[in-house]
Amino acid sequence: MNQSINDLSRKSVVLLQKNNSERLAHLKFRRKLWLDVHLYLGLMVGAVLAVVGLTGSFAVFFVELQEVLNPELAVVSMPPGNQQKLHSLDEIVAAAETAKPQGSRFVKVYYPRKPDVAYKFVYFVRDESLANNGDGYYIFVDPYTAKAKGIQLYYPKDRYWGRPLVGFIMQLHWCLLLGKTGAILNGILAALSIISVLTGLIVWWPLTGKFKQALTFKRNASAVRFNFDLHKSVGIYSTIVLLPVLFSGIYFNLPEQVNVLVKLFSPVNRPTAFNTIPAEIHSRPPQAGQQALGLSKVEAIVQERYPAGRLWMLDGPKSPEGVYKVMKKDVTELSRFIGYRDFAVDQYSGEIVLIYDKGVGSSGDAFLDWQWPLHSGHAFGWTGRILVFISGLACPVLYVTGVVRWLQKQRANNLRTKRSAPEAL
């Protein structure tokens, strides 16, 4: 009786071991398939992702970089405490008007993010008789003296060379210096990069359940093993940030396609990826002799009715029917993370005709509103920005270590082939 029970137990153990062996063999086969997908995707998109990631790291701090690289334009000297009186926005605009290039028109103004930073105006040349028609310029104005500090060509029409370094980096990051075609290509590559990251996660997943070993470096390892551990560690630790950053990159480069996807789950009312005010929002026709309001008046109307938050941009009307767009951030009553509020203001009457609060509305709108704060890292303050910065640096590291790993395997395979050749003869 006992002998029968023992025989049955041994057979059960053998059967269980066989099943486990077959299951492990199946998992290894599937892992090899995903490894091939990960390898070829990495070789195809890795180089571009390395460039986009590296430039994205710098782009996280593009505002600060401009102040560091061009302090003579962007930074102002603050008067003593009892003399820190700002001029009105209309006076500051007047200073910009005196420095604007011939044939150019006001487009928008960026408010100083700190007391020692200048106002930054954007002007575009709109005169077909001029050789620089279509070029865009920054004009920097000291808010304490109401005097222009200088002018900078920032958007040369139809060319990328000759831009300031910060602008060049931004364009390389967004469209690879290939215009709209590059933007579309970049969006497609971002989608392929998500697949590459996910397959890397599948390949990394320890079949034996030894997660601690899979998450750490092997001590006293060879150069080959160190490169392997560096690739897997950087990949796994950066995945949680890379996935949302890559998806938001797809949204900004392929917004219509992403909208189609999001609309499968929720209604979407957000007009575009870059604008919250619908194109059909217009100012009412002015009464006889009625002139457009000055920027100071528009600013005062918004500040009086909605004082919460910090002004960061005021966009001028693009036509006699257009509206002013006033944008505020850090509106904590909306959100600690994406507290943005945008206003459309009638340029003649001053009526606030539309308010767009980001992060509210349908689930689809809220989801899309999160994309820029996540992509830039601003959603979580300095912590978020540093994490996005590090994830960008991870991209070239992943590409280089991945290529090195592939070359190591190629070399090992070649050596095995050479060693087995005499035996085959």
Q: How far is CA 89 from CA 144, 254, 288, 378, 380, in A?
A: 11, 36, 26, 27, 31
Domains 71-163 and 277-357 alike in fold: yes
What is the spatial distance between Cα 324 and Cα 19, in angstroms, rounded to a whole number?
70
What is the spatial distance between Cα 199 and Cα 347, in angstroms, rounded to a whole number?
52
Q: Tell me the domain boundaries of the chain.
A: 27-61+176-260+383-424, 71-163, 277-357
Residues 6+ positions from 179 with CB-CB distance below 8 Å: none
CATH code for residues 277-357:
3.10.450
Q: What one-character DSSP code corresponds to residue 337?
A: S
pTM for the structure as a whole: 0.87
Q: How far is CA 17 from CA 4, 6, 20, 204, 207, in A?
A: 20, 16, 5, 24, 16
CATH of 71-163, one of 3.30.1180, 3.90.550, 3.10.450, 3.90.190: 3.10.450
Given a contact cutoff of 8 angstroms between Cβ atoms, the answer to whether 401 and 230 are in contact is: yes
Cβ atoms within 10 Å of 245's Cβ, excluding its own = 23
152 bridge partner residues: 138
pLDDT tens-place values along the chain, 425 residues long: 555 555 555 655 555 555 556 665 666 677 788 888 899 999 889 999 999 999 999 999 999 999 999 999 999 998 887 667 789 999 999 999 999 999 999 999 999 999 999 999 999 999 999 999 999 999 999 999 999 999 999 999 988 888 999 999 999 999 999 999 999 999 999 999 999 999 999 888 887 777 888 888 888 889 899 999 999 999 999 999 999 999 999 999 999 999 999 999 999 999 899 899 999 999 999 988 899 999 999 999 999 999 999 999 999 999 999 999 999 999 999 888 889 999 999 999 999 999 999 998 899 999 999 999 999 999 899 999 999 999 999 999 999 999 999 998 888 888 887 877 665 54
With vertex at residue 329, the alpha carbon angle to CA 323 and CA 334, rounded to the nearest 5 degrees, is: 105
b vs e for 391-414, b when ≥16 Cβ sit within 10 Å of the residue's Cβ? bbbbbbbbbbbbbbbeeeeeeeee
DSSP H or E stretch at residue 326: strand 323-329
